[in-house]
Amino acid sequence: MKENKKMVNTNEKMKNSNLIKKATIVIGLIFLLIIYKRYLSNITAQNIRAWISTFGVFAPIAYMFVWALLPIFFFPVPVLALAGGLSFGLIEGTVFTLIGAIINSSLMFIIAKVLAKEMVRNYLEKKLPEKWWKIFMESEGRQGFIIIFICRLIPIMPYNVINYAAGLTNISFLNYSLATAIGILPGTLVFINVGDKLLDVKSPEFVVSIILLIMLMVVSVLLGKYATKRHDQR
């Protein structure tokens, strides 16, 4: 009898604990959404540039700080990259963006690992195409590295969702981090270059930057089709 009572009490505690976790996550998601809608949704690349410029010599640190935090709230990362190009130019903007993005992607990966997976999974599953969600969930090891790498190359793939979704898979943190660092480099260079040339939209350099952006999107779509075809053949 005592053992049964202990089991019942243990089960009740576990249920209560799960309810508290789920309630905390729901509240957290609502909080993130409110923060984004109220304070972040209207922020432009020019706004970010103006804000970080107030930090003077510490502007790069301010930029990397916002890069590390804002995507957690589902802030669009192309806006951040454009701000980096506007503020620091191609070379420095790329370096600072890569550092901020690697810190951010690591944070979001860990957040997904810590939070109750069911709630995060239910939310994120609606944000990715069904086929890509299946590919993600079945990926691990070398295959996981390749999938993350390809996803990072595709501008239309939601950066924020990939970060959280990867935390729900069996992909190792090392493979995830390496694939992220390498995969975001081409897109970062292209978007930073667009931002760098944004102040003179009539210049030949700006036209070239837009052509490179279009080329990146075309190549990434082809890579995406290759990845799905390869997965279907397994």
Residue 136 has pLDDT above 80, yes or no: no
**Tell me, what's the pLDDT at 148?**
83
CB 177 within 8 A of CB 110: no
Q: Which of 119, 127, 230 is nearest to 168 (CA)?
A: 119
CB 47 within 8 A of CB 61: no
Torsion-angle region of 51 (φ positive above 0: left; ψ -120 to 50: alpha; else: beta):
alpha
Condensed to tens digits (0 to 9), the pLDDT of residues 156-180 reads: 677 887 887 787 777 888 888 898 9
Residue entry with tokens 């969600």:
133
Condensed to tens digits (0 to 9), the pLDDT of residues 62-92 reads: 999 999 988 887 788 888 988 998 899 889 9
**Tell me, what's the pLDDT at 8?**
47
In which band, very low, low, confident or very high, does the pLDDT at 211 lie, cut at 50, 70 and 90?
confident
HSE-CB for 223 with a 13 A CA cutoff: 19
**Tell me, what's the pLDDT at 59?**
94
Residue 27 has pLDDT above 60, yes or no: yes
CA 228/CA 100 separation, integer angstroms: 30
